[in-house]
Amino acid sequence: MAVASAGSCFAQHIGRHMAKSGFNYRDFEPAPGFLSKETARTYGYHLYSARYGNIYTVQQLEQLLERATGRFTPSEDVWEKDGRYYDPFRPTIEPDGFASEKEFRIMQRAHFGAVKRLFNKTDVFIFTLGLTEAWVNKEDGSVYPICPGTAAGSFDPAKYEFRNFTTSEVVASFRRFRERVRAINPGIRFLLTVSPVPLTATASGNHVLVASSYSKAVLRAAAGELTAEDAGTDYFPSYEIVSSHPVRAMFFDGNLRTVTPRGVDFVMEHFFAQHSPPTEKAPETASPAASDDDLVCEEELLAAEALL
């Protein structure tokens, strides 16, 4: 049974633990062999089952599939600055940008090929819903992982606008995504989780606690609706295990945002109690293990340009 994952930064914990716990956790876009583990992760490898970086919203996920299969091409799909080229939809995978647009296009085609293989060959796809807030392109609705102008690009209020997706929008987007994936791979199943990591900034204009509460409520409600309507979609309560009041925030670090290693272990112990790994694993396709200190998370960048 091939397992793949995507989502917000908390999803990195799930994939990492599955890779070392007996599951056939697949990496469809592995790093070149000459890169060290640390360098590979700096360049976006081994974080998920492909080099797509953090996918915070369902709308991003749907868009990735549409782009990889040729159904949608954004009006703005490359940013150039000082002779370096950046991917607007994976702005952190090349910290210094690509050397040329040709190099960018070659790597983009390779990435789309990996994404198509993923959805063709995966039996269980795990997606962690992370955010409802996003910045979009006014012209064609393209959804960015973080605000343009933070990790790459430049912010232009005439081109980009803030969106805070509703429950109905999240549900509708995932339904479209699920339907199109099943047209490619009819037997695929889905496992949804909600990230317990709260917001530390918001572009909504509300207090960050209110904005975070809204976001998690929307995502949890959407996940509940999507699993209730479809036998091939399940939910695992990583959000409730870490964030609910009975655990008294004991699984958060002192900043009350990042999840402690013990919290991650506790979540995964419950995960494996419900989803037992097979007796054999496929180490040649599993992502290498990493420590919790290696977690790559960019939620704090999302609203950085909101005050411009």
Alpha helices in 71-166 (DSSP H): 101-121
Q: Tell me if 134 sits within 8 A of 301, measured CB to CB.
A: no
pLDDT in tens, 44-81: 999 999 999 999 999 999 999 999 999 999 999 999 98
Nearest to 164 by CA among 212, 196, 110, 120: 212
Percent of the chain with pLDDT over 90: 69
More confident residue, 229 or 293: 229
Predicted local confidence at residue 288, as pLDDT: 44
Could you tell me the sign of the dihedral formed by the alpha carbons of 125, 62, 87, 7, in that order? negative
pLDDT in tens, 92-146: 999 999 999 999 999 999 999 999 999 999 999 999 999 999 999 999 999 999 9
Task: Check whether 302 has a pLDDT greater than 50.
Answer: no
According to DSSP, residue 43 is labeled T
142 SS3 class = coil
pLDDT in tens, 165-217: 999 999 999 999 999 999 999 999 999 999 998 998 999 999 999 999 999 99
Residues 6+ apart with CB under 8 A from 111: 29, 50, 51, 52, 68, 90
CA distances from 115 to 3, 51, 70, 251, 282 (A): 13, 9, 12, 33, 19
